[in-house]
Amino acid sequence: MKRSERLVDFTNYLLNHPRKLTTLSFFSERYKAAKSSISEDLVIIKRIFDETEVGTVETFAGVSGGVVFTPAISDKNSQEIASEIAALMGESNRILPGGYIYLSDILGSPKNLDKIGKIIAHEYVGKQIDAIMTIATKGIPIAQAVSSILDVPFVIVRRDPKVTEGATLNVNYMSGSSSKVENMTLSKRSLAPGQRVLIVDDFMKGGGTLNGMKSLVHEFDCLLAGVAVFAEGPFKGERLISDYKSILKIDSIDVEKRSIDVTLGNIYTEEK
Amino acid sequence: MKRSERLVDFTNYLLNHPRKLTTLSFFSERYKAAKSSISEDLVIIKRIFDETEVGTVETFAGVSGGVVFTPAISDKNSQEIASEIAALMGESNRILPGGYIYLSDILGSPKNLDKIGKIIAHEYVGKQIDAIMTIATKGIPIAQAVSSILDVPFVIVRRDPKVTEGATLNVNYMSGSSSKVENMTLSKRSLAPGQRVLIVDDFMKGGGTLNGMKSLVHEFDCLLAGVAVFAEGPFKGERLISDYKSILKIDSIDVEKRSIDVTLGNIYTEEK
């Protein structure tokens, strides 16, 4: 195979195997080419992926060496995308009775979800994450987007156990906004002890739901790798959770004036 | 930019813009290269995408011409993937009390979902589809996977209206398995009249839920583009829906012997 042909397949292969170590021998065999040629290919791919901010290509020498592609966006690109989505969120026709915000179109767009997935994944580059956890319903698309970038499975917590889940582990939690005790449940076989779990959700108010998921992580003898939300809403009083990352922050919603004040979340405003 | 460098970016660009027509002028400008060079690049990409079954690359001449990449898998590859997933489904430890099957791990794996999305999208190549519809909870990952391949939005039907959805359109439907009348609801602003909607879900028994979604499509003055499910289960009696596609078919579940008889669905067994 010629270099030009190899590069097309090589690019496609790496994009489809994020965060996986593949040996140079594999490519050498696949393309019937010398390892030195493969290394030269990688130099080209690495440069273009760097320049176009597709992600990083790292090569590791030695017996257990190989190449790993990590999808990534730059801090600048991440912030640009977040600003675009913030502009969408600020549209006045999103305000629903009771001061709720209509988000289903934003979170039903595969392009937006891919961006949201990349932004959240970008915050955990270099950290080991074995699974993504979210709660039905609207957290699911976000969990799936992040899971696709990190190439790890996602698990869906529910408020009521379902017959299709088998034995479940249940926890009670205190809703941060309404101060009611609620229940959440996750299939026993969803997680194995010791796994590192990243919790994601679409929207945070008081943080009660996220806090519930944190306790689920502990009940499964898993480790918490992080908590990330698409948007945090306005909340008076103390949140039940303090260590989280948010892409967007809604400072206020004025139902009468039909205006939403959306700014960038703590991913962009707090020091790392 | 050299051809080798162009090809890396070009490949990435096409993969990230499925089913979108992009003019050659755009690439000519992007790479500061003559259109003849761009055309030559495309010949290489087209050949490799064909050979490795990544998808088709079509070029259209003329003023409104350009290039369109359509992710695709071959019938053979589709069937191989379905067989792999069928083998997973047949594992005896998936059987739950009541003869239900545990699927959450299969439908929580981004790799599997990508494959399922490609198989379903492959069945509707050449058809216009403007939106994917599914019902919460377990249809969502499938809808998102298909929507990502087709690059169209997905909408989530719910069994109960939520305050975050605004005005909703509700329909009653008859459950095929339990013969109860149930309710489903979708935000009024989810779909526009005249859109072509593909309905997807994870599991079909009597077809009542799918039938309910079909009536929702009609109530929105939309057109039905198709109905596809990941798996159809065993069902005695007449289904409420006849025109659907399935990837897998569960012929029988023997709870006592802990065996599941899984075969390929009608995508592979019926003439097209």
Would you state the pLDDT for residue B272?
62
Closest-CA distance, B271 to chain A, in angstroms, reads: 32
Nearest CB to A164: which of B52, B100, B144? B100
Q: Which residues of B touch A156 (CB under 8 A)?
A: 104, 108, 137
Would you state the pLDDT for residue A127?
93
pLDDT, averaged in runs of 10, over chain B (272 residues) = 96 94 95 95 97 93 88 89 94 90 96 95 92 97 96 96 92 84 96 98 95 98 98 90 96 91 95 67
Would you state the pLDDT for residue A208?
94
**CA distances, B144 to each of A115, A183, B11, B41 (Å):** 14, 27, 23, 31
**pLDDT digit string, tens, across residues A44-73:** 999 999 999 999 999 998 877 899 999 888
CATH fold group of domain A75-269: Rossmann fold (3.40.50)
**pLDDT digit string, tens, across residues A10-32:** 999 999 999 899 999 999 999 99
Q: Which residues of B touch A109 (CB under 8 A)?
A: 153
Would you state the pLDDT for residue A95?
93
Tell whether B158 is within 8 A of chain A (Cβ): yes
Q: Summarize the confidence of residues A227-252 as an average pLDDT.
A: 94
Which pLDDT band holds residue A272 (cuts at 50, 70, 90)? low
A148:B114 CB<8 A: yes
Which of residues 32 through 51 in chain B touch A, CB cutoff 8 A? 44-45, 47-49
Q: Which residues of A touch B72 (CB under 8 A)?
A: none
**pLDDT digit string, tens, across residues B92-120:** 899 999 889 999 999 999 999 999 999 99
Asked if the A3-71 domain carries CATH number 1.10.730.10, the reply is no
Cis? peptide before A70, omega within 30° of 0: no
Lowest mean pLDDT among A159-173, A217-231, B21-35, B64-78: B64-78
Number of Cβ within 10 Å of residue A228's Cβ equals 26
Residue A7 belongs to what H/E stretch? helix A3-15
What single string gives the DSSP state of each residue in A196-248?
Answer: EEEEEEEEESSSHHHHHHHHHHHHTT-EEEEEEEEEE----S--S--S-EEEE
Q: How many residues does chain B have?
A: 272
CATH 1.10.10.10 range(s) for chain A read 3-71
Q: Summarize the confidence of residues A133-144 as an average pLDDT.
A: 97
Distance separating alpha carbons of residues B179 and B206, to the nearest angstrom: 9
Per the listing, tokens 């499910």 go with B229
Distance separating alpha carbons of residues A227 and A219, to the nearest angstrom: 17
Q: What is the 3-state secondary structure (H, E, C) of chain B?
A: CCHHHHHHHHHHHHHCCECCEECHHHHHHHHCCCHHHHHHHHHHHHHHHHHCCCEEEEEECCCCCEEEEEECCCHHHHHHHHHHHHHHHCCHHHEECCCEECCCCHHHCHHHHHHHHHHHHHCCCCCCCCEEEEECCCHHHHHHHHHHHHCCCEEEEECCCCHHHCCEEEEEEECCCCCCEEEEEEEHHHCCCCCEEEEEEEEECCCHHHHHHHHHHHHCCCEEEEEEEEEECCCCCCCCCCCCEEEEEEEEEECCCCEEEEEECHHHHCCC
Tell whether A15 is within 8 A of chain B (Cβ): yes
- Assembly ipTM: 0.94
CATH 3.40.50.2020 range(s) for chain A read 75-269
Q: Which residues of B touch A52 (CB under 8 A)?
A: 9, 12
Tell whether A168 is within 8 A of chain B (Cβ): no
Instruction: Look at residue A167 and tell me whether its pLDDT is greater than 70.
Output: yes
A47:B111 CB<8 A: no
Chain A interface, best mutation among B1, B135, B140, B200, by max A CB count within 10 A: B140
A110:B152 CB<8 A: yes
- Give, as one character, the DSSP assignment of residue A28: H
- A86 phi/psi in degrees, rounded to 5: -60, -40
For A188, the token pair is: 């026993």
Closest-CA distance, A271 to chain B, in angstroms, reads: 32
* Cβ pair A113, A107 in contact under 8 A: yes
Tell whether B233 is within 8 A of chain A (Cβ): no
For B53, the token pair is: 């079954």
